[in-house]
Amino acid sequence: MHKIIFKFESGEGITAFAASGENLLEVARKTNVAIDAPCSGNAACGKCRVKLLSGQLESQKTRHITDEEYEEGWRLACVSHVISDVEVMVPDIASAYKGRMKAADLSSPEELKIFTETKDRLKVAGIALKNSLELIPVSMNVPSLDDTMPDVERLERALTAVTGIRQVRVPYTVLKVLPDKLRENNFSVQCVVRRSAKDVFVYDLYGMDEHVRAGGLVVDIGTTTVSALIIDMLNGDILAKATTGNGQIRYGADVINRIIESRKPGGQKKLQDAVIDETINPLIHTMCAACGLKPAQIYRMCVAGNTTMNHLFAGFNAEPLRTEPYIPVFFKTNSLFANDLGININPDAHIVVAPNIGSYVGGDITAGTLVSMIWNRPEFSIFIDLGTNGEIVFGNSEFMMSCACSAGPAFEGGDISCGMRATDGAIEACTIDETTMEPSFSVIGDPGQKPIGLCGSGLIDVISELFRCNMISPKGKFIREGARIRHDKYGMGSYVLAFKEDADSVKDVEITEVDIDNFIRAKGAIFSAIRTLLTSLDFDVSMVDDVYVAGGIGSGINMKNAVGIGMLPDIPLDKFHYIGNSSLSGAYAMLLSGEAERKVYELARSMTYMELSTTPGYMDEFVAACFIPHTDTSLFPSVHQAETE
Amino acid sequence: MPFTKKLQKFNATIRTVELGTGEKAVKLGGGSTFPFYTFDGPTANPAKIGIEISDMGLENEPDCIKAFYEGCGSVAEIAKKAASFEGVDFVVLKLEGGDPNGADKPVEELVNVAKEVSEAIDLPLVVEGCKNVQKDAELLSKVAEALQGKNVLLLSAREEDYKNIAAAAGLAYDQLIGAESAVDINLAKQLNVLIKQLGVDLGKVVMNVGSAAAGYGFDYVISTMDRVRAAALGQADDSLLMPVITPVSSETWTVKEASASEEDAPGWGPVEERGIDMEVETAVACLTCGSDAVILKHPTSIATVSKMIQALS
């Protein structure tokens, strides 16, 4: 056995023990040290770098580490094996920021905007913002020797008297506290209940003078990022909001790698633990602390995520999703409860799951479709969710079609050497001077925040600017030379946005040809999916009235640049609307409003799913779209015009 | 009711690219109908045939080919002989000896071979590299320089090395460029766009959209050619309106149908005949799907395919 110490830049350390020959990344995973490994430990992505401080590692050299860096002690964890006691430093580079939790500042109106807008749009569509949770005050007779009815029967009768519903259900958690609560409050209590046509279910009891807060939890489980809200179920107020990386990231960057990992012995449990124990429960903890709510006061939860994510969340076997004929366990389920999944909220809380449409179009899309409101207009619109999977919904109040394409994690900063989420330190917008080739950019965070990496919107800007300045070819290869452009010994070019002296990182913030290539593939997947979907219906982009763009790409997304690199169709820019994390706002709507929840089920049923992988012509469209802006320039007349000018 | 003939008219014409100089120069492309559709319009320039020879002399050639060049001592003599066969429109010198994983001949030596061959013949010349990206970038640039004024075609510029080769051939030394892509209409188009962006005149570009021997993924090859030509003419797509040249012999003489000895495959007939058949079948399919020139090796194949072109054009 060897002793391994993982040191963080903060100075803290975690100690682990491993046998000779064990893989360092595996050891880190076992010890819950988050080392980002989007490629699942195949030495492909170069993200799992650690620095050897003392001891020896048997480590292969890869193209991700320069000779100089190797000398300094940098190693890839996935190709390193333990041969002695070692101390390694886990660096604070862009990718490490991915996993960090961030609680939102709710005093900023920007954070709340999408939820207020969601409520407004639902109201306009005639959807009542009412759910089945309510607060019912009841006063009972104090028992005496003449009135010896048990406590629970007393409560049941009182509730039946108020509601007119005979069936009242009181769970164990309430029974356990019932005698004390009733006596403390002299048999007058406020009950948090769920009322349906058939029964009343009691979640909690409060004294008459107590300020009751019935919390609801909204979670958007993205493949890369998990966002959550705590809301007041009675009035819809947002009490807390937080975001963190999906703990499953260390088991692979995309759904396919996650499913493969889940089929290894104990894998299903590991993946479920990673998303619940390591991701959602800490989010709940942080948010509850922020808003002063007890976790047990959260009485309902709504989850939106892609089909694989909600399967792994529920602990279901996801393998059939991956293999022909791609069958999910469920599209819609109401059988999940907090207690069964180990979620730290009220154990009886019911988990509402946004329904799936296909193996690769899940609840994040059905929820998002609801808030995009494309189903409520006669004009044709496109709803695009730019996530690790790109999903597209097209249609109007008469019909809707959907499809999914694998865009990879690039929009959220994955698979990009300096990629990160749209959080503090991310370059979110950029322009480049055509003559000097010097960049100027804006960084998310407090004034003076130095750049750490690039988020999706920043990537779009940088690539668009590199192309505009003729620094890269339409294939994404560098064609100009300059002080900020360099080539490694394998000939790979890169452009330095900020040298490490000017950055808040241990390395230069740069964009490489491999990054650009990954991004071109991502944007190619999105554009070709839109084209294929529209072409299959004999539609032309000119018939599209509005395009709603959602996802964690960053609110700073510059639509002109996104069109300029051929990611979105070339239609007038005022038709594009960025609607933020629509999966989260959709799940919020489903939790807050029973009618909205039913509407989402209806949308899911009425949407036609188109499987792109079996659509002839998709591959052709994809190859044609992997070019800036597109192989067929006639599809981008405005870009072409700008070039000739 | 009288029969009214409907003509398929296109508003686009494939660019005419002239290869070589002087009387023996040949014109590739120029058509505005599908190949051999003489009922839609006259053939502008009948398809051309190149004969393939190598800087390695006859060393790697099958016996049946060696027989034709008996008595030739140098590559220049081989070239001279090759140019004399019936139906040959141009000579293709393959510099396969440059391959770093093979003979790895130095660039200067290969450039000299190219010069000798060019001086020995009066037919147009096409020079093919060794397929190694790094070596070709240097080799073909040097060949372009050495053969200035001869208007030779350099095969080929690929996505990995187009910057060097296309710049040298198209910009610096005024030669022709063969743009090679891997059996995909969009990749073919993308490479042409990239070459154009270097400032190269697209009138100097000939495409090689990929090739294979019949039966070896060949359906992809000919459907790509077919689609390239249909898109070029039908959509007047400027970045696809260049003539297509297809190396055939380099694919067909290595497959087992052409190379298995008579002892190993007794039921298959004479080995030479099989080699010729493979070459002719592959070439004819390429021509009917839109190749404006094919590169062959066996004089009998060349005579046969030439006869077909004359009969149908």
pLDDT of residue A252: 80
What is the residue-level pLDDT of chain B in tens, covering all 313 positions? 888 888 999 999 999 999 999 999 999 999 999 999 999 999 999 999 999 999 999 999 999 999 999 999 999 999 999 999 999 999 999 999 999 999 999 999 999 999 999 999 999 999 999 999 999 999 999 999 999 999 999 998 999 999 999 989 889 999 999 999 999 999 999 999 999 989 999 999 999 999 999 999 999 999 999 999 999 999 999 999 999 999 999 999 999 999 999 999 999 999 999 999 999 999 999 999 999 999 999 999 999 999 999 999 9
Name A209's Cβ contacts closer than 8 Å, sequence gap at least 6: none
pLDDT of residue A175: 96
DSSP codes joined into one string, B129-163: --S-HHHHHHHHHHHHHHTTTS--EEEEE-TTTHH
Name B121's Cβ contacts closer than 8 Å, sequence gap at least 6: B79, B80, B82, B83, B91
Q: How far is CA A523 from CA A563, A629, B245, in A?
A: 10, 10, 33
The alpha-carbon gap from B35 to the nearest alpha carbon of chain A, in Å, equals 24
Q: Is residue B177 part of a domain?
A: yes
Q: How far is CA A75 from CA A82, A91, A244, in A?
A: 12, 11, 26
Name A335's Cβ contacts closer than 8 Å, sequence gap at least 6: none
Q: Is residue B13 part of a domain?
A: no
Name A612's Cβ contacts closer than 8 Å, sequence gap at least 6: A403, A404, A405, A529, A532, A618
DSSP 3-state of A615: coil
Cβ distance A545 to A380 under 8 Å? yes
Asked if B190 lies within 8 A of A479 by C-beta distance, the reply is: no
Q: How far is CA A93 from CA A9, A460, A494, B214, in A?
A: 10, 21, 18, 53
CA distance A253 to A523: 18
Asked if B163 lies within 8 A of A624 by C-beta distance, the reply is: no
pLDDT of residue A92: 60
Tens digits of per-residue pLDDT, A85-127?
999 888 765 444 445 667 777 777 777 888 999 999 999 999 9
Q: List residues of chain B with CB under 8 Å from any CB of chain A.
A: 159, 163, 184-187, 189-190, 193-194, 197
Name A149's Cβ contacts closer than 8 Å, sequence gap at least 6: A143, A157
The alpha-carbon gap from A508 to the nearest alpha carbon of chain B, in Å, equals 27
Cβ distance A258 to A221 under 8 Å? no
Which residues between 585 and 624 in chain A have a beta carbon less than 8 angstroms from any beta carbon of chain B? 620, 623-624
Rounded to 5 degrees, φ, ψ at A638 are: -70, -35
Asked if A631 lies within 8 A of B186 by C-beta distance, the reply is: yes
CA distance B185 to A110: 46
Cβ distance B293 to B243 under 8 Å? yes
DSSP 3-state of A203: strand
CA distance A218 to A477: 43
The alpha-carbon gap from A533 to the nearest alpha carbon of chain B, in Å, equals 19
Could you tell me where the DSSP H helices lie in chain B? 63-66, 75-84, 107-120, 133-146, 162-166, 185-197, 218-234, 249-252, 256-259, 271-288, 299-312
Query: Cα–Cα–Cα angle for B203, B251, B247, nearest 5°?
Result: 15
CA distance A367 to A370: 5
Could you tell me where the DSSP H helices lie in A416-491? 456-468
DSSP codes joined into one string, A267-289: HHHHHHHHHIIIIIHHHHHHHHH
CA distance A49 to A28: 12
Asked if B163 lies within 8 A of A623 by C-beta distance, the reply is: no
The CATH code that applies to domain A133-207 is: 3.10.20.880
Tens digits of per-residue pLDDT, A255-271?
888 999 999 899 999 99
Given this chain, do its domains A102-116+213-353 and A133-207 carry the same CATH topology?
Answer: no
Rounded to 5 degrees, φ, ψ at A580 are: 70, -150
The CATH code that applies to domain A363-407+526-644 is: 3.30.420.40
Here the CATH number for the domain that contains residue B84 is 3.20.20.20
Which domain does B270 fall in, by range?
A: 19-29+38-312
* Identity of the residue numbered A235: N
Containing A115, the helix (H) or strand (E) segment is helix A109-124
Overall domain count for chain B: 1
Q: Structural domain boundaries of chain A?
A: 2-91, 102-116+213-353, 133-207, 363-407+526-644, 410-518
The CATH code that applies to domain A2-91 is: 3.10.20.30
Which residues between 248 and 267 in chain A have a beta carbon less than 8 angstroms from any beta carbon of chain B? none
Query: Cα–Cα–Cα angle for A145, A150, A152, nearest 5°?
Result: 150
Contacts A–B by Cβ distance under 8 A: 25
Q: Is residue B5 part of a domain?
A: no
What pTM, to 2 d.p., does this model score? Answer: 0.82
Ranges of residues in chain A with a pLDDT under 70 are 9-11, 32, 37-41, 92-101, 554, 643-645
pLDDT of residue A97: 45
pLDDT of residue A40: 63
Rounded to 5 degrees, φ, ψ at B291 are: -75, 135
CA distance A621 to A616: 10
Matching CATH number, A102-116+213-353, of 3.30.420.480, 1.10.3720.10, 3.90.79.10, 2.30.38.10: 3.30.420.480
**Which residues on B lie below 8 Å from A472 (Cβ)?**
none
A475 vs B: CB within 8 A: yes
Nearest CA in chain B to A474: B194
- Report the candidate in B70, B95, B73 with the shortest Cα–Cα distance to residue B299: B70
ipTM of this predicted complex?
0.81
A469 vs B: CB within 8 A: no
